[in-house]
Amino acid sequence: MRRVVITGMGALTPIGNTVQEFSANLFAGVSGAAPITQFDASKFKTRFACEVKGFNAENFIERAALRRMDPVTHYAIAAADEAMKQAGFDMEQTDRTRFGVIWASGQGGFQTVEEQITDYVRGDGTPRFNPFFIPRTIVDITSGQLAIRYGLNGINFTTVSACASSNSALMDAFNYIRWGKADMFITGGSEAAICASGVGGFNAMKAMSTRNDEPTRASRPYDADRDGFVMGEGAAALVLEEYEHAIARGATILAEVIGAGMSADAYHLTSVHPEGLGPKLAMKAALDDAGIAPHEVDYINTHGTSTPNGDIIELKAIRDVFGDHAPTMNISSTKSMIGHLLGAAGAVEAVISVLALQHQTAPPTINLDTPDPDIPEGFNLTPHVKQEREINVVMSNTFGFGGHNAIAVFRRHAASS
């Protein structure tokens, strides 16, 4: 099948509003957690999150158009614009029928739903809904908006698989290019769920940290004192392109996508299979698809959300798949810095995977003060600070409520080093 490479990236995250800014803070181990500013969270069990900071959507979108979009689309456009600029297409010379968009979000226009329903309930019962209520909230609308923005007539749809959504989107784009159905895609994910219903809902599930006095230390994957995940928001976009197409137009290749694996736990709505069955199946499938052996993987960006059960189950699954090679790899959870971006997590972590390949550096797992005693022996979880090393292959793991598992594998491209 045809080879697929990455020629553009964009990021809007809690620790940086461009890839360059994000990269600097990522490798420096900066936390994006802080008290919530988007609504009054004073009565909530969790009063902090990893919010995007200093973002002005008017820098990317005309004011008149802003009203037609939820922040989940604002974030997507900012990231996609950066990725498209880096990819450097001459759109007059580009076959737009072969250029598609596959975008992801776990929640879609969550803030708009909350705003509109709240206004209705607090009113006199007369339905005064915004005419853009439905277009702002349906999950697929962002992929449509991106296609309109760039005039792309190729394959266009949205993937929804909870926290595995944007890895699923990337995999679909990867496969459609491999199969010859397209030459280029903008793919990625965005999430804007830091609102009363988002925080309140996850609080009700007892899934989020309540370390309100120390927000920057709250996301602590693998630490014995972890107490739940920290919600994040933002977006990341990647331009995927067929290798020969990229070479022909003189594009800079950032990395290559070489494999993808998916599976289902078929076990529980919100809990991972206790023996890591689904993650193991997906990791093995990804290695097989990439045509590589376990010992060829140098770094794994884990799902690692900082929840009591999920963290350890994932590490034990890695031990079972990688065997004696597991302790020789670097492993880290970058959610320790940016929180959990839900449906956008896989896209942001795909950008992180490429940055690790480019910088030959594994980003850290911050806040890992006292490793959980159940962690498999000898694992290098890259505690506190980055570690420079040879990195040629990176695996990125994402798992979603409903038992969805999506694993992507990236390889260093010599020309991008």
| Catalytic site includes residue 303 | yes
The helix or strand, by DSSP H or E, that contains position 49, with its residue range, turns out to be: strand 48-49
264: amino acid identity, one letter: A
Query: What is the distance of C-alpha 205 from the center of its chain?
Result: 22
Rg (CA), the chain: 20
Alpha helices in 219-344 (DSSP H): 243-248, 277-290, 310-322, 335-338
How does DSSP assign 366-408, residue by residue? TT--SB-TTSPTT-B--BSS-EE---SEEEEEEEETTTEEEEE
| Catalytic site includes residue 413 | no
Return all residues near 222 (Cβ < 8 A) that are at least 6 apart.
304, 311, 312, 315, 333, 365, 368, 371, 372, 375, 381
Q: What is the distance between the alpha carbons of residues 99 and 111, in angstroms, rounded to a whole number?
A: 30
183: amino acid identity, one letter: D
Two tokens, residue 256: 């290559």
Burial 3-24, CB ≥16 within 10 A → b, else e:
ebbbbbbbbbbbbbbbbeebbe
How does DSSP assign 225-259, residue by residue? T---B-BB-EEEEEEEEEHHHHHHTTPPP-EEEEE
The region that residue 140 occupies, defined by phi over 0 for left and psi between -120 and 50 for alpha, beta otherwise, is alpha
Which entry of 74, 245, 273, 340 is annotated as an active-site residue? 340
Q: What is the distance between the alpha carbons of residues 104 and 160, in angstroms, rounded to a whole number?
A: 6
Which entry of 273, 303, 404, 413 is annotated as an active-site residue? 303
Which entry of 74, 163, 195, 273 is annotated as an active-site residue? 163
Burial 28-52, CB ≥16 within 10 A → b, else e:
ebbbbbeebebeebeebbbbbbbbb
| Catalytic site includes residue 74 | no
Instruction: Please give the positions annotated as active site.
Output: 163, 303, 340
